[in-house]
Structure 1
Amino acid sequence: MSNYNPRTFTSLGLLRSIPSALLHQFFTPYRGYLESQRFEWPTDPEKLDHKALHETLLKPAGPTPDKRLADAMFIIHEMADDAGVSALVDAIRETDPNFTKNKDVEAAVFVIQRWLIDPVLVENTNARRYARENRSFRSFRTSLDLPDGTLDDAALAKFRDEIAERLAPFYPRESIKLYQFPEKDSKTIRFLVRHGGPLVREGIVKADAPGESDSALFRREVFDVIVYDPENDEVRIHSKKRDADLYTRACGVHFVENEEAFPDTDKYTLEPLIQKGEQSLACAHVAGLRKITLVELDVFLGGNLSESIVYRSDNLFQSQRLKEQAFLTGRTLQAATFEIFFAKAKHSRTVKIQTPNKANFKRDNDGKLVEQWLRTTGFIIEPAAPEEATPATDAPALAEVS
């Protein structure tokens, strides 16, 4: 469940900006909870007491709200900013292209209004923001041909159950939700897995007895991302390393009925930096790329303490150390960060590659150019072609991507 820290609702200034009648409508399903906290429920929606509601939510006299209310307040708080409103407007326009938001309506008011109309849309839009954040992903490739298309409702539920079965020893089943977000310009699908994290115990001061201490036991909300990419026959995962192994096995079973379909093999190498030096950064052969600069390098030194050193510069190959051709010879490179300049963009983009299979860059249209450059310059290890390609059989129910 979400941490109970809904700042949109526990800030009196923000709360007062929300019309009483709208708050009355939002909290009506949870009236019993509020009354159990000694909040006087008004018969006239316009007479809802903002200050009393603020104090009730800020210092509940007893247990925190049930999961539905805590989640609702958490999601609304997450969405109640300019970026959240913009994402929600875009989501609404997918089915109503002519929708226009009233500019005079504040963010929190707009999000609550939409929650009352379609809470699933607001929840999914918030989840999509987490799914599309720029993150570091581990790549796991397969020699099998992966099926295309989005999962229908039954298949999505089955995939969720497969994931929950594997995560169950570590996280409560009931905390696991699975969201699906197909990419518009490719066959890639992003799956967001929301689950409770490890149990955390923290010291607190009692709300009803400020002079006494107590402790609270709870789970923080965790978001993991699985990127299913049938065009490159791989999945990319953002999660703890242990959980990534569980996710790859769940993907293997669900999509190709083979738990071992996505082995933890090497995808990236930084050998071109050692073998070719600055020439490895040439990018004229990739239309859309203008210039690439090496700005950070993580070098493993070894020894009893497994030492490493990180070099940083605006342009490492122009620094005195790397100008010496032999400086990288015999070194073990663990990670490299590149600054990439695009032909049609004013701003550069930072791309980090960490061997053996971890990368951090956004896979949008510019990201495809980065992937092309990494592949053509030897930073991506091409998998050995199998003797005979094995197609996926008995794939789960799929619906064509629109």
Structure 2
Amino acid sequence: MATFNPRRFAQPDTLKLIAHNRLVEFLQPFATYLVDRGLTLPSGNGAEIDYGKLSMILMSPDENTPSELADALYYVHEMATRGEMDVLLEAAKEAGFALDDDSDTSPADVAVYVWLKDRDLLEKKHAEMIALRPKSFEYFAGKVGGPNPIPNPTAKKISDIQAHLDAWFLENKRGDGSKVFVFPDEANSKAWILVRHGKPLRREGTHDGGKSSSIYFRPEVHDVLIYNALLDEIAIVRSGTKGEKNLYREAFGLHLFGDADYFPGGDKFTLQPLLTDGVDSLVCTDIEGIEWIKLREVQRYWGGTQKEIETRRADDLFAAMEVRDASFSAKAKLTSAVFTVKFESVKTPRSVTIRPKNVAMYTRDEDSVRVEKWLTNRGFASAPKLEENNLEIVENVDAALAYA
């Protein structure tokens, strides 16, 4: 069951923005539960809904709340924003059930409408939204090591992957019923993969009418992976456990590339250019769309019996070191670096963190294309192996960079 934490959707003013008949249709499957909570849905077009009572019920779920209602509220709530409304309107139009022209339609109204028409479509768009959120990834190289055709899994392949994942999830107390969504980009250079699955059961104490009790439920989680066709590598969002990351490398390697050990890993990033090239390692004039890059923070590992780590931070660390006529020691062991990146079309600079051997964190996922090219050009990231028969893939990636 999804975890529902109402903030927008359950507010009375928001509920009133949803077409009366549409809201009643949305709630009708749960009419018995609502009656038990003290609310009877109106049966006629002219009858009003008690929005205050409905809001109170939705914002205070109890142990009898139907899991289907919690799921419906969760997905509608997540998609009831102005940004997602545009996505849903376009998706509904493409699916052949566009809304009637109405300038007063609210984001919540659109989300409920799409849920009623095609629940799977709304879930897919929600998965796509989640897939584009993550900022911190762990990278694992594929065996080809260079440009590789992007996988286009069939429904059978997706089903096989889900079965593979479910076997591990069941054995490790996470339940079955996982769902996999794949979203290739327009240039066919990357594929975003979202895995929706359960977490281990959670027990929470409850207090009702002076009586102490407890409820058990299985929280839902979304893990994100990104396959990069140019580099032949898979990036896995760092929120998962080590076991889950190994599972994804095995399952997607086996079912998409025919080899469970297709993504063995290896070193992706190094901070050595900071030591050998100094401020010149920050040059970005060859990367379209980036104005400048500054080094803001580094961590140095001194080790010893106390495993000492030193952090040095400044608005511009190289400029600060120049004032003191200082420099990095060629033997320094840098374990992390934070860069400030100014993009041409963005007013506020953004942060990029690199941690050898294979971790990167971005403020926005859309920053990754340009930043990864800069990292590769300056020697911070491993370069792909380019071969004659892979030039078309490289051209597609360059097109994606121009589009970004």
Alignment partner, residue 78 of structure 1: 78
Alignment partner, residue 264 of structure 2: 263
1:290-301 superposed matches below 5 A: 290-301=291-302
**Cα contact 2:250–2:260 (8 A) shared by 1:** yes
Whole-angstrom CA distance in 2 between matches of 1:57 and 1:382: 52
CA deviations on 1:294-342 (whole Å, 9 max, x unpaired) are: 1121222323332323222210101148954444432221111112234
Alignment partner, residue 221 of structure 2: 222
Alignment partner, residue 22 of structure 1: 22
Gaps of 5+ in 2: 387-404
Aligned-partner SS, 2:301: strand
How far did 1:233 drift? Answer: 0.9
Amino acid at match of 2:131: A
Alignment partner, residue 186 of structure 1: 188
> What RMSD over aligned residues (CA atoms) do the two structures have, in Å?
3.0
CA deviations on 1:250-301 (whole Å, 9 max, x unpaired) are: 1111122222111131100001111121111122233443321111212223
Moved more, 153-162 or 355-364: 355-364
Moved more, 283-292 or 255-264: 283-292
Amino acid at match of 1:377: R
Counterparts in 2 of 1:164 and 1:101: CA distance versus 1, 3 Å: farther
% identical equivalent positions:
31
Counterparts in 2 of 1:301 and 1:87: CA distance versus 1, 3 Å: farther
**Cα contact 1:225–1:237 (8 A) shared by 2:** yes
Counterparts in 2 of 1:19 and 1:90: CA distance versus 1, 3 Å: closer
Alignment partner, residue 389 of structure 1: none
Gaps of 5+ in 1: 386-402
Aligned-partner SS, 1:143: coil
Alignment partner, residue 142 of structure 1: 142
Amino acid at match of 2:69: L
Alignment partner, residue 2 of structure 1: 2
Aligned-partner SS, 1:255: helix
1:92-171 superposed matches below 5 A: 92=92, 94=94, 102-144=102-144, 146-171=148-173
**Cα contact 1:316–1:322 (8 A) shared by 2:** no
Counterparts in 2 of 1:384 and 1:129: CA distance versus 1, 3 Å: closer
Counterparts in 2 of 1:194 and 1:20: CA distance versus 1, 3 Å: same
Counterparts in 2 of 1:92 and 1:309: CA distance versus 1, 3 Å: farther
Q: Is 1:340 aligned to 2:345, yes or no?
A: no
How far did 1:235 drift? Answer: 0.8
**Cα contact 1:146–1:255 (8 A) shared by 2:** no
How far did 1:382 drift? Answer: 4.5
1:38-77 superposed matches below 5 A: 39-44=39-44, 46-47=46-47, 48-59=49-60, 62-66=63-67, 68-77=68-77
CA deviations on 1:49-89 (whole Å, 9 max, x unpaired) are: 334433443445642212x2211110111111222213323
Amino acid at match of 2:316: N
TM-score using structure 1 length: 0.84
Whole-angstrom CA distance in 1 between matches of 2:94 and 2:325: 55
Whole-angstrom CA distance in 2 between matches of 1:36 and 1:185: 53
**Cα contact 1:191–1:226 (8 A) shared by 2:** yes
**Cα contact 2:8–2:14 (8 A) shared by 1:** yes
**Cα contact 2:182–2:193 (8 A) shared by 1:** yes
Counterparts in 2 of 1:328 and 1:199: CA distance versus 1, 3 Å: farther
Query: Which of 195, 198, 205 is residue 207 of structure 2 equivalent to?
Result: 205
**Cα contact 1:351–1:359 (8 A) shared by 2:** yes
Whole-angstrom CA distance in 1 between matches of 2:384 and 2:326: 30
**Cα contact 1:272–1:378 (8 A) shared by 2:** yes
Moved more, 30-39 or 104-113: 30-39
Whole-angstrom CA distance in 1 between matches of 2:261 and 2:55: 52
CA deviations on 1:97-124 (whole Å, 9 max, x unpaired) are: 9988633122212221222222222221
Alignment partner, residue 250 of structure 1: 251
Counterparts in 2 of 1:285 and 1:81: CA distance versus 1, 3 Å: closer
